[in-house]
Amino acid sequence: MNSFIKYISEKRKRFKFERKIRLTPTQIIAGSFFLAILTGTLLLWLPISSAPGESTDFLTALFTSTTSVCVTGLVVVDTYIHWSLFGKIVILILIQLGGLGIITVTYMLLLMLRRKFTLGDRNLLQDAFNLDTRVGLLSFLVSVFKGTFAIEAIGAALYSIVFIPEFGVAKGIWISVFNSVSAFCNAGIDILGADSLARYNSNPLVMTVTMVLIILGGLGYVVWFDIYTSVRSGIKSRYTPVKIVRRFREHTRLVLYITMTLIVLGAAMIFIFEYGNPGTIGNMTTGDKLLNSLFQSVTFRTAGFSTIPQQNLRDVSCIAGYLLMFIGGSPIGTAGGVKTVTVFIVVMNAYSFICGRDETVILKRKISEALIRKAAAIVAVSVMAVFTMTVFLLATNDVTVTDGAYEVISALATVGLTRGLTPVLNNAGRVIIIIAMYLGRIGPISMALFFAKTKIQKNGVSFAEGRFYVG
């Protein structure tokens, strides 16, 4: 009898221990990115990853692995010259893993191996995509991979029209593939040279392909498939283009409206602010000024490629860049930032309050209170992260507020643009940016998952309403 009681007691202790160490989906996702960063760091730290005559310390390997997995683009060494072919392949794989998501890639491999998915697997995959339903989840996963590789292949083929004649067949194809994956994943890392795409700032093909890849990656997978399905069914039913667009889901229409507005407004601001600046677009033709202004507006939204020196931007352009980088791309895509729809919901909620409306309505659809609270929480925590990281960077490095804030927002929004600050940061500054990049890739996702809980935790005690004053 005593032995039976002892056995039951041990089982209860073991059960309690297992319950304590059970990881939430948020922890698993964050942990998967951390393990990928650590693995990439060890691989890049190997002597075989460095080019002949180059050596890589642990912090440089860690920084490069983090910027690759978090698809940021900030680098402390020139990618094209510091890393060997093996190192560049590792970086490319890390970019692809980071863009698609470690959990997403893992489950795609398991699906290819014909493994059965449990309910827990589906829940984790749903959280990784930040979707609100498990219906059609596996087909969605397959579509994401097919769509991603198809777009990257088309992008590489278009790049090769320019790069093969310039670099030869083998190197031209390699550069084309690398740039296409990096652009679609919004990573901003290239192997062309120290000045990114500056040498192609008057090449419409390279710039247009890059912009299209960036925008497609930033729109989000849900938007892709909704557009594809609506257009295909609309053509079969012989609908007019206007009717096809009206059949898009409200999320798709909102994302397209916001994206186009931000791109156009951003391009207009850069064109006006930098028109006479000889350090950026001042000496270009009008056509090239328009093209580079458009490119800068697109790359501000988490891409990281540059065709003009960022350190030569006027302060007013940097302020515009702060806003565009902070907003970032759209949900369920490869872009970073707090996301377009998130910011728009916060703005519309404020507008509704000012107008005295009791509901927030967008495209004739009411926004739930839970979604408004979620959006407000994401924006608030992100603002606090920007402020805190900027203070830390300014305290540990002799930099201006403009350059420091630019660097931190770029890292937290996983943009990858810098005003020449990244390579000259001290070790403390590099660690701060590493943490910022990781939080930028994990933070918004983790916050979205945390605030998206369907079960509301009610207070155990009902409190009387307090009298507080705001404004």
Q: Quick check: 156 pLDDT over 50?
A: yes
Residue 399 neighbours by CB under 8 Å, 6+ apart: 393, 407, 421
How confident is the model over 176-226, as pLDDT tens digits? 999 999 999 888 888 887 788 889 999 999 999 999 999 988 887 888 888
What pLDDT score was predicted for residue 460?
Answer: 62
- What is the structure's pLDDT at 141? 77
- C-alpha count within 13 angstroms, C-beta hemisphere, residue 325: 29
Is the predicted pLDDT of residue 453 greater than 90, yes or no? no
Average pLDDT over residues 260-278: 95
Q: Most confidently modeled of 68-72, 330-334, 458-462?
A: 68-72
Q: In the structure, what pLDDT confidence band is assigned to residue 241 with cuts at 50, 70 and 90?
A: confident
Model confidence over 9-49: pLDDT tens digits?
Answer: 554 455 444 444 566 666 777 778 888 899 999 999 999 99
Largest CA distance in the chain: 92
Q: Is the pLDDT of residue 58 over 90?
A: yes
In terms of residues, how long is the chain?
471
| Rounded Cα gap, residues 371 and 357, in angstroms | 17
404 vs 446, residue with greater confidence:
404
Q: Which of 71, 295, 330, 294 is nearest to 218 (CA)?
A: 330
Q: Rounded CA gap, 216 and 255, in Å?
A: 12
Tokens read off for 53: 């005559």
Phi and psi dihedrals of 15, rounded to 5? -65, -45
- Given a cut of 50, is residue 4 above it in pLDDT? no
With a pLDDT cut of 70, the percent of the chain lying above it is 82
User: Is 90 exceeded by the pLDDT of residue 163?
Assistant: yes
Q: How far is CA 294 from CA 67, 207, 210, in A?
A: 25, 10, 12
pLDDT confidence tier of residue 458, bands split at 50, 70 and 90: low
Q: Per residue in 271-303, pLDDT tens?
A: 999 999 999 999 999 999 999 999 999 999 888
pLDDT of residue 128: 59
Residue 129: CA count within 13 A, CB half-sphere: 26
> Predicted confidence band at 120 (pLDDT cuts at 50, 70, 90)?
low
> Amino acid identity, residue 298?
V
> Mean pLDDT in the chain?
84
**β-sheet bridge partners, residue 365:** 362
Confidence of residue 8 (pLDDT cuts 50, 70, 90): very low
Q: Indicate whether 134 pLDDT > 90.
A: no
Residue 234 has pLDDT above 80, yes or no: yes
**CA–CA distance, 210 with 272 (Å, rounded to integer):** 23
Q: What is the DSSP letter of 366?
A: E
Q: State the distance between the two ends of the chain, measured CA to CA, in whole angstroms.
A: 69
Structure tokens at 437: 């990049």
Q: What is the pLDDT of residue 470?
A: 65
Segment 143-168 shows an average pLDDT of 92
Phi/psi at 282 (nearest 5 deg)?
-60, -35
Structure tokens at 335: 């872009």
| pLDDT for residue 454 is more than 50 | no
Residue 248 has pLDDT above 90, yes or no: no
Tell whether the model's pLDDT for residue 171 goes beyond 60: yes
Residue 339 to residue 375: CA distance in whole angstroms? 10
pLDDT at 15 (0 to 100): 44
Residues near 201 by beta carbon (within 8 Å), at least 6 away in sequence: 207, 284, 288, 291, 292, 295, 307, 308
- The predicted pLDDT at position 22 comes to 64
Q: List the beta bridge partners of residue 361.
A: 366
- Would you say 183 and 208 are in contact if contact means Cβ atoms under 8 Å apart? no
**Based on C-alpha coordinates, what's the Rg of the chain?**
24
Task: Look up tokens 């991979």; give the residue.
Answer: 145
pLDDT (0 to 100) of residue 39: 93
Tell me the β-bridge partners of 83. 50
pLDDT for residue 364: 84
- Across the range 59-73, mean pLDDT stands at 92
Reported as a pLDDT band with limits 50, 70 and 90, residue 127 is low
Tell whether the model's pLDDT for residue 175 goes beyond 80.
Answer: yes
pLDDT at 70 over 80: yes
DSSP codes of every residue in 112-125? HTTPPPPHHHHHHH
Rounded CA gap, 368 and 378, in Å? 16
Please tell me the distance from the alpha carbon of residue 471 to that of residue 178, in angstroms, as a whole number. 51
Spatial separation of the C-alpha atoms in residues 102 and 396, rounded to whole Å = 33
Percent of the chain whose pLDDT exceeds 90: 48
Confidence of residue 330 (pLDDT cuts 50, 70, 90): confident
Q: For the chain, what is the total number of helices (H) and then of strands (E)?
A: 19, 2
* Between residues 49 and 336, the one the model is more confident about: 49
Give the residue-averaged pLDDT of 410-439.
92
Output the pLDDT for position 332.
74
Asked whether the beta carbons of 129 and 103 are under 8 A apart, the reply is no
CA distances to 52, 80, 87 from 55, rounded to whole Å, are 8, 14, 12
Angle at 227 between CA 222 and CA 230, to 5 degrees: 120
Amino acid identity at 334: T
Helix H or strand E encompassing 362:
strand 361-362
Q: Sort strands 361-362 and 365-366 into parallel, antiparallel or unpaired.
A: antiparallel
pLDDT digits (tens, 9 = 90+) for 367-414: 888 889 888 988 998 999 999 999 999 999 999 999 999 999 999 988
